[in-house]
Amino acid sequence: MSKVYADAKSALDGLLKDDLTIAAGGFGLCGIPENLITAVADSGIKNLTICGNNAGVDGFGMGVLLNKRQVKKVIASYVGENKEFERQVLAGELDLQLVPQGTLAEKFRAGGAGIPGFYTRTAYGTRLAEGKPTRTFDDGREYVLEEAIRADVSIVKAWKGDKAGNLVYRKTSRNFNPMIATCGKVCVAEVEQLVEVGELDADQIHTPGIFVDRIIQGARYEKRIEFRTVQGAAVSKKESENPEQLARREQMARRAAKELRDGYFVNLGIGIPTLVANHIPPGINVTLQSENGLLGIGPFPTEEQVDADLINAGKQTITALPGASFFSSADSFAMIRGGHVDLSILGGMEVAENGDLANWMIPGRMVRGPGGAMDLVSGVKRVVVLMEHTARGASKVLKTCTLPITGKGVVNLLITDLCVFEVVPGQGLVLKELHPGVTLDEVKAKTEASFRVAL
Amino acid sequence: MSKVYADAKSALDGLLKDDLTIAAGGFGLCGIPENLITAVADSGIKNLTICGNNAGVDGFGMGVLLNKRQVKKVIASYVGENKEFERQVLAGELDLQLVPQGTLAEKFRAGGAGIPGFYTRTAYGTRLAEGKPTRTFDDGREYVLEEAIRADVSIVKAWKGDKAGNLVYRKTSRNFNPMIATCGKVCVAEVEQLVEVGELDADQIHTPGIFVDRIIQGARYEKRIEFRTVQGAAVSKKESENPEQLARREQMARRAAKELRDGYFVNLGIGIPTLVANHIPPGINVTLQSENGLLGIGPFPTEEQVDADLINAGKQTITALPGASFFSSADSFAMIRGGHVDLSILGGMEVAENGDLANWMIPGRMVRGPGGAMDLVSGVKRVVVLMEHTARGASKVLKTCTLPITGKGVVNLLITDLCVFEVVPGQGLVLKELHPGVTLDEVKAKTEASFRVAL
């Protein structure tokens, strides 16, 4: 009984029909089953529910299925970078269920592992947990019950595979693939290199063949890169046109870098937080975590080093340092949710005086999804937010968040372009520092939240 | 900030005190942190709670701590092979909490992953789930809520490690180590080979360094083997002295082998089920799963092939076939619980007409623990029980089990030394076959359960 098929079309033969739930591996466009997606698109089946971390981009990845109007529902953590998707959701043509990234990875794992539900702190108190059962555990905190996801068909992409279906992934293209492989009633895998049984080291197989029903060597791989970023190109053209803003941001990043301690494991969010990596104090050795499955982020690559299988959570090309390790999204968020990451530095839209953070959506405008933000703020030991103090003259440091929150009472330190607030549990905001040239009166005038001063 | 310590004693310096909860990796004596256990024993700390799959043997592994009376409580799935342990439990000197093996592996994973609780079908309706909350999910079945385990200190053993704490395990010595590494407030690892940062392939690290706080190269490794089994020695001396019993058992195994289908993944229990491997029909290709972390069990080794890092769930030395894969106990039971294993063939003490199975304890006599049996019967697609029809003249095929059950309504097929029963959901036992020379009257006389005849 051979698992090997000639091509993507024949590998899906007999499995495809309207109304299926299809789960697909990949993070952004990294590690997606390109050939199988094309075959699903070519099949013309409709009314699909598709699950995966993202929904591709216009015209590539799972985006192809959206362009062809084959999809009725999407379950994902982040759906930016896709205009046709946005149009369909806003027009009510598409049902979108957003799930925090770590919860999503765990839901797929649970689906494959015979665990119908699990509890997590992620999203507690946010609209993504509305209506879900909660339970208080021994630590006195409340947790949300999340249910497993199972798919009719799961499609995954690996680097190497053998004819028994054993799979090995490469770098950050592992991401959601291992869990997705387990959650389908049927799993079809495509690989760049199909080898004979016995050629893979039994200690180094990421997905054992028991999970893979059919396997193909992919005909061709485009391996498109979403944000090709090389050394020296970290400052975008738009940013270089606004040197004052850039200077403010560098100042915030420099201040945030003072929170680093030797030996720390740190997750840096997209945007200003990424700049913190440029300001690590001498003698301080920190390991940067990327929630798509890497510990040990290095600098941006040279042109020659650019590797489509090696990206960060912002989907930029990066490098990995000696001592780095790659792992699945489920393992990555186990790290994050389990409190093993020492520090998370991320951007914000609003911070409230009780430590609530809002940074994932603006109702009425497009929802891009929480990505890993809800997991990070709930799980990481210490959360530092970098945020401009005001937006169009209005304070972003508030008594209560007006936007839907990312986490309840999660912020430990807030660094704005004016000052630094500590959030003291039960006491609220404490003003600890003013940036050079900033007066207390200016901070008072631009802060809606009440705060104590301890300069 | 270096994680590297000179020896086991210094690596534990400042961490040890009375009343700690210590979790230790290993399955039986395979992959146990020998040097760290010795250092804990030498420290003389008392009133410990120790967690791990087993409790060692008399005078080796965690058994050393029991011999030295340092332990007040044990959390484990199987505690056979340890006389002093037995004495302490029966004398009420030691608190023993038994947990099904897959549930235990998942509890450690959950402890490290920030998941305070999860639901599982394993142990539902048995005394190991008594008093635990249950919940019905979309499939209409009830599941048991199990809580995470966190340890004060976790100690693990890997094959290779680098100075940043990245770990690589070898063969079935991986077992519980990866999850245990994540569940401790502090994790100390010992390795056979400590290498420089950058020497390990980032794609092939099993435990990323973020989980490991301290690391040593172990001074020496005894790597004791519990059941050294080589080719040709499968029939024990005791068995060869009872040729009639052996013939009956071979007949049962031969009949069970007829349940195998090409492409099946099969878990064979300890004892008679192991014999099924000798009767796989020609042209049928099955992959044998060992719940301690191996797909692709091969024959017993030659003397030269014996490897302490390569054992089956019965703790016998084995080999692995080409195409095999090794994985952790959590991944192994994800496979089992998630319904990816096609067939489980295991022994029984009693089977009831509703499909209940009892095979894990006899009250009043020593409890060895369920091991993986509760997980297997709850998770595997089809469950075949091999069991002698009577014991000391009394029927073991009953209206209701008198012993504590392993699973509720879990048996699909019962093969005894007299006949074959199918368990039809909602209908009970159906007699399908009589073995040669057995009459219906004999089966009727020796069966307490009611059954329908469909020969």
Nearest to B400 by CA among B450, B346, B440: B450
Residues of chain B contacting residue A115, judged by C-beta atoms under 8 Å apart: 106, 118-120, 337
A237 phi/psi in degrees, rounded to 5? -60, -40
A59 in reach of chain B (CB within 8 A): no
Give the pairing type, strands B265-268 and B343-347.
parallel
Nearest to A421 by CA among A393, A395, A392, A397: A397
Q: Are A78 and A269 in contact (CB under 8 A)?
A: no
Residues of chain B contacting residue A166, judged by C-beta atoms under 8 Å apart: 323, 325
Interacting residues of B179 by C-beta distance below 8 A, sequence separation 6+: B105, B108, B109, B111, B112, B328, B329, B330
- B 259-278 residues with CB < 8 A to A: 262-263, 265
Q: Chain B: give the shortest CA distance to residue A265, in Å.
A: 7
B340 in reach of chain A (CB within 8 A): yes
Look up residue B117 and give its amino acid. G
Nearest to A181 by CA among A96, A105, A76: A105
Contact A340 B112 (CB under 8 A): yes
A35 phi/psi in degrees, rounded to 5? -70, -40
**DSSP three-state, residue B115:** coil
- Which of B169, B208, B340 minimises the CB distance to A325? B208
Q: Taking CA atoms, what residue in B is nearest to A323?
A: B198
Give the pairing type, strands A151-162 and A167-168.
antiparallel
- What is the spatial distance between Cα A322 and Cα A325, in angstroms, rounded to a whole number? 9
CA angle A411-A415-A421, nearest 5°? 65
* pLDDT higher than threshold 90 for residue B1: no
Residues of chain B contacting residue A194, judged by C-beta atoms under 8 Å apart: none
Four-CA torsion A337, A343, A347, A348, nearest 10 degrees:
70
Residues of chain B contacting residue A114, judged by C-beta atoms under 8 Å apart: 120-121, 334, 336-339, 378-379
Nearest to B292 by CA among B227, B365, B201, B348: B227
Residues of chain B contacting residue A184, judged by C-beta atoms under 8 Å apart: none
**pLDDT the model gives residue A236:** 58
- B 89-108 residues with CB < 8 A to A: 106
- B 372-401 residues with CB < 8 A to A: 378-379
Nearest to A341 by CA among A387, A294, A280, A274: A294
Neighbours of B382 (CB within 10 A): 16
**pLDDT the model gives residue A240:** 67
Contact B210 A171 (CB under 8 A): no
Interacting residues of A131 by C-beta distance below 8 A, sequence separation 6+: none
B293 in reach of chain A (CB within 8 A): no
Contact A109 B334 (CB under 8 A): yes
Neighbours of B304 (CB within 10 A): 7
Residues of chain A contacting residue B138, judged by C-beta atoms under 8 Å apart: 116, 147
Catalytically active residues of B, by annotation: 291
Reported ipTM: the value is 0.96
pLDDT, one tens digit per residue, over B131-160 is 999 999 999 999 999 999 999 999 999 999
Q: Where are the alpha helices (DSSP H) in A262-355?
A: 272-275, 329-337
Question: pTM for the complete prediction?
Answer: 0.97
Q: Chain B: give the shortest CA distance to residue A346, in Å.
A: 20
**DSSP three-state, residue B273:** helix
Neighbours of B282 (CB within 10 A): 4
> Which of A197, A210, A214 is the best substitution to test chain B (most B C-beta atoms within 10 A)?
A210
Contact A182 B334 (CB under 8 A): yes
Over A22-75, what HEC string results?
A: EEECCECCECCCHHHHHHHHHHCCCCEEEECCCCCECCECCHHHHHCCCEEEEE
Contact A325 B202 (CB under 8 A): yes
Contact A1 B205 (CB under 8 A): no
pLDDT, one tens digit per residue, over B333-362 is 999 999 999 999 999 999 999 999 999 988
B248-276: average pLDDT:
94
> Which of B169, B200, B203 is the best substitution to test chain A (most A C-beta atoms within 10 A)?
B203
Nearest to B151 by CA among B190, B104, B100, B194: B104
- Which of B116, B166, B325 minimises the CB distance to A209? B325
Determine which helix (DSSP H) or strand (DSSP E) holds A452, and give its type and residue range: strand A451-453
Residue with tokens 């190269």: B217
CA angle A76-A80-A82, nearest 5°? 100
B305 phi/psi in degrees, rounded to 5? -85, -10
With b for 16 or more beta-carbon neighbours within 10 A and e for fewer, the B103-131 pattern comes to: bbbbbbbbbbbbbbbbbbbbbbbbebbee
- B 211-250 residues with CB < 8 A to A: 211
Per-residue pLDDT in tens (0 to 9) along chain A, 455 residues: 799 999 999 999 999 999 999 999 999 999 999 999 999 999 999 999 999 999 888 889 999 999 999 999 999 999 877 888 888 888 899 999 999 999 999 999 999 999 999 999 999 999 999 999 999 999 999 999 999 999 999 999 999 999 999 999 999 999 999 999 999 999 999 999 999 999 999 999 999 999 999 999 999 999 999 999 999 765 555 666 788 888 999 999 999 999 999 999 999 998 889 899 999 999 999 999 999 999 999 999 999 999 999 999 999 999 999 999 999 999 999 999 999 999 999 999 999 999 999 999 888 776 789 999 999 999 999 999 999 999 999 999 999 999 999 999 999 999 999 999 999 988 899 999 999 999 999 999 999 999 999 99
Contact B340 A211 (CB under 8 A): yes
pLDDT, one tens digit per residue, over B417-436 is 999 999 998 889 999 999 99
**pLDDT the model gives residue B90:** 85
**pLDDT the model gives residue B237:** 57
Question: Which pair of tokens denotes residue B128?
Answer: 């190991």
Q: Taking CA atoms, what residue in A is nearest to B332?
A: A113
* pLDDT higher than threshold 70 for residue B269: yes
Q: Are B122 and B102 in contact (CB under 8 A)?
A: yes
Q: Band the pLDDT of B239: cuts 50, 70, 90.
A: low
**pLDDT the model gives residue A238:** 61
- Which of A135, A209, A334 minimises the CB distance to B112? A334
Q: Are A244 and A331 in contact (CB under 8 A)?
A: no
pLDDT, one tens digit per residue, over B300-315 is 999 999 999 999 999 9
* pLDDT higher than threshold 90 for residue B235: no
- Which of A118, A289, A296 minimises the CB distance to B118? A118
Q: Chain B: give the shortest CA distance to residue A146, in Å.
A: 9
Q: How many CA atoms lie within 13 A of B187 on its CB side?
A: 30
- What is the spatial distance between Cα B35 and Cα B221, in angstroms, rounded to a whole number? 8
Q: Where are the alpha helices (DSSP H) in B189-308?
A: 237-240, 243-257, 272-275
pLDDT, one tens digit per residue, over B200-219 is 999 999 999 999 999 999 99
Q: Are A322 and A298 in contact (CB under 8 A)?
A: no
Q: Are A158 and A167 in contact (CB under 8 A)?
A: yes
End-to-end Cα spacing for chain A: 73
Share of chain B above pLDDT 90, in %: 87
A158 phi/psi in degrees, rounded to 5? -125, 170
- B 108-147 residues with CB < 8 A to A: 109-121, 135, 137-139, 143, 147
